[in-house]
Each structure stands twice: as structure tokens, then as C-alpha cells.
Amino acid sequence: MSSTSSLQSTSANRNVDSAEIADLIAKHGSSSATAWLDFNQYLIWRPSETISQSSFPPVQGYIRKDPWVFAWGNPLVSDVAALEATARAFISWAESQNLRPVWCCVDETFQDVLASEGLNWSTVSCINEDVIDPAHVVEIVESDAQGVGSHVKDLKKNLRRAEKADVDIVEVKQADWSEEDKKQVEDGIADWKKNRHGIQLASTTMEPWVDADHRRYWLARKDNKVHILCAYSPSKSRVVGLLILAPVQDNYQIKNAVSFPDAPKGTSEALIYGAVKDLHNDEAAGDVYITFGITAADKVKPVNNFDGWRVKWLAGTYNKVAKGAGLLRRGDFRNKFETAHEPMYVCYPEDGLGLDGVNALLKVLKK
């Protein structure tokens, strides 16, 4: 599938059915794919010819920074057997546009496809998917056992701080949102953005109402004393934080967890634990896992099709970026919940990513 006419480029997202893409991400996607719904930053590619191994036309979200195109996460397919054909189709389209493709935040299965004979891409692991087991988190928080690690002690201490400050965590269903609550959320996010400092690297912006039909919302409210049949009185409290869960297949991603500048200490931990505990207690949800999404690993691990000098150069570049942007601090916070770190991968052709490619990626991720 190398001809341009056989492949559809949605360079301005003119042909994209956003509701269909959101539904496919919820059913077949990964945490990285949820970023594609930021249509101001991500473009959507789909092949116009049938890829027979998938029951629907595959989907790939990407960021374009000429001459680079950064595909973000695995392509959406109904069957992993469609991954190679989809990868070849996307690469052919990119090359027909004189673009240099790079795949970011892909799983082990897809990196094996890209590294296989015929494609021979270089693959490196410098990122992890941080996954929470709700049952385990509830167990460690509620247990009185001694000898827990410093991260768990810090989690419990901050949960007690939030409780003493009368921070209440409440899930808000779609039908229960009031205009006042929405305004407080939007004002809180605006204040939070103003108070951020230093270099910010993120795959999406903070837009709370994207794909609201699929997502679940928890609010942190301070001084919320009035409860009637699980409802609350907005006049008795103020919103001090927000957590959003996005569905990814049978599990959830913490899409956003934000405590506003006036929130008491421990609000972030209380928000996450509140949502984790609610899911754990929800019999209808069954056994689910929650992912924080992608975070930086503490080092670079070359996996396929690498030689020595490129490994050394890449490790030095990565360490400089990770330290400068404080990427490892995010992982320190997530470790409070004893997350499992599942390796994820960045993949690119043998002719290399190079310093120009790294700089282009950093530019599109800066917020």
C-alpha cells in the first residue's frame, strides 16, 4: 500500500468523526490514545483501503512538526494481526508526504512489529506505563501493618491531612453537574495553570469536558457538610480539585488529577484514593486496573537494532531532558500508590531520530 491515493490524510481533521474516534478509543485504545481527542494538537490518519485483519478501518493519532510526524501510541485495530499492515500503511503515507515517522508510547507487541525483519526499526524503552491495582491500594491504606515503605507512609499522612481539612471526595454523574460546579472547575483549572512553574511537557492540554459522555468525574470539595441521598449543597462547599477517569478497553486511565492552588495538603492523594476505592467497591465494574498513563523511566534501555555510540548519545540526551523538565518527580508521586511499571517504547527508522527530532518532539510537547 505505497500509493498516496490509497491512503487518506486528514491533515486538518476535516473528515474525522470525533464521536466515532472517542468510542473506538474507549473500546480498543490505550492511555496514550486518549490524547488524540485534543484535536487542536493531534491529527487523525486512517487508511482508505481495507486492512482485512481489522473489522474497522484502523486509526492512528499523530502530531506533525515538519519534517517529523510523531505517531502517539499503538494504532487502533480490532485484532493485533492488523498491526503490521497498519504500520506499513502509515509509514508509506508519511513518506509520500516527505515526513519522517517516529512512533512514541507503544507497547511491547507493537515495538516487536516495528523491529521485525522488513521494517527493522530501532526501539528503545525510556518510559513506563504506571498501573494501579485498586484492591492492593485499598488494602495498604486500610491495613495497620507496620514496616510499610516511606511512599506508603507519605500517602497515609496526606490522606489524614485531607480528612482533617474536611476535604470530601464525591463522584459527580453527568446528570448532576450544576453550572456553579462547572464554573468552579473551570476557574480552578485557570488558577492552576497560572501557578505552574518551570518547563511543562505534556501530551495534552487540560480540557475537562472533552469526551464527557465516556468519562467519569470526581470532585474534591472542602467544608461539604450537607449530604442528602448522596447529593450535596454547592452553597456549603467549594471545589478544590478534580479527577477525571477515561475508559480504555475494560480499564481506566487517570486522565487528569488536579488540586487547585487553594486546596489543602493531601487533596491530590485524596482524589486518587477516593476514585480508586469507589471503583474497588463497584461490583458492576468487576476487576479493573487504573493507569496513570506514561511516565519517564529512570534510564534508557536499548531494545532492538542499536549500536553502541547511539546508545551513549541517546542516554545523555534523555538524562538532560528528564532532569530539566522534572519528569522523574511525577514517577515519585505515583509510587505512593505502589504502581507497577510496565515498559513502553519509542521507535524510529534505522537512519535515526537525531537531535533535530528530539528537539521537534520537545517543542510540540511544551505547554
Give the burial class of 225: count Cβ atoms within 10 A of its Cβ; 0-12 exposed, 13-18 middle, 19 or more buried. exposed
For residue 211, pLDDT beyond 90 = yes
Q: ∠ CA 191-197-203 to the nearest 5 degrees?
A: 85
Q: So what's the pLDDT on residue 9?
A: 38
The answer to whether 73 touches 30, Cβ cutoff 8 Å, is yes
Percent of the chain residues topping a pLDDT of 90 = 61
Q: So what's the pLDDT on residue 351?
A: 73
Helices (H), 100-178: 108-115, 134-142, 150-164
Q: Are strands 251-259 and 290-304 parallel, antiparallel or unpaired?
A: parallel
pLDDT range class, residue 270, cuts 50, 70, 90 = very high
Q: So what's the pLDDT on residue 149?
A: 79
* Mean pLDDT computed over 247-259: 94
Phi, psi at residue 212, to the nearest 5°? Answer: -60, -25
pLDDT range class, residue 229, cuts 50, 70, 90 = very low
Separation of alpha carbons 113 and 115, rounded Å: 6
The architecture in CATH of the region 134-288 reads: 3-Layer(aba) Sandwich (3.40)
All cell numbers assigned to 355: 537531535
For residue 67, is the peptide bond before it cis, meaning its omega torsion is within 30 degrees of 0? yes
Helix/strand/coil for 51: coil
Q: So what's the pLDDT on residue 361?
A: 66
**Predicted confidence (pLDDT) per residue in 278-318, tens digit:** 999 986 666 889 999 988 777 778 888 776 556 666 666 66
Separation of alpha carbons 70 and 30, rounded Å: 16
Separation of alpha carbons 241 and 261, rounded Å: 9
Give the burial class of 64: count Cβ atoms within 10 A of its Cβ; 0-12 exposed, 13-18 middle, 19 or more buried. middle
| Domain ranges for the chain | 4-128+296-329+336-365, 134-288
**Predicted confidence (pLDDT) per residue in 63-104, tens digit:** 998 888 999 999 999 999 999 999 999 999 999 999 999 999
For residue 8, pLDDT beyond 90 = no
Q: So what's the pLDDT on residue 10?
A: 43
What is the distance in angstroms between the CA of the first residue and the CA of the last residue of the chain? 36
Round the average pLDDT of the chain to a whole number and report it.
84
- Highest mean pLDDT of the ranges 135-149, 170-184, 325-339: 170-184
Q: So what's the pLDDT on residue 327?
A: 56
Q: Which of 82-86, 151-155, 165-169, 280-284 has the lowest mean pLDDT?
A: 280-284
Percent of the chain residues topping a pLDDT of 70 = 77
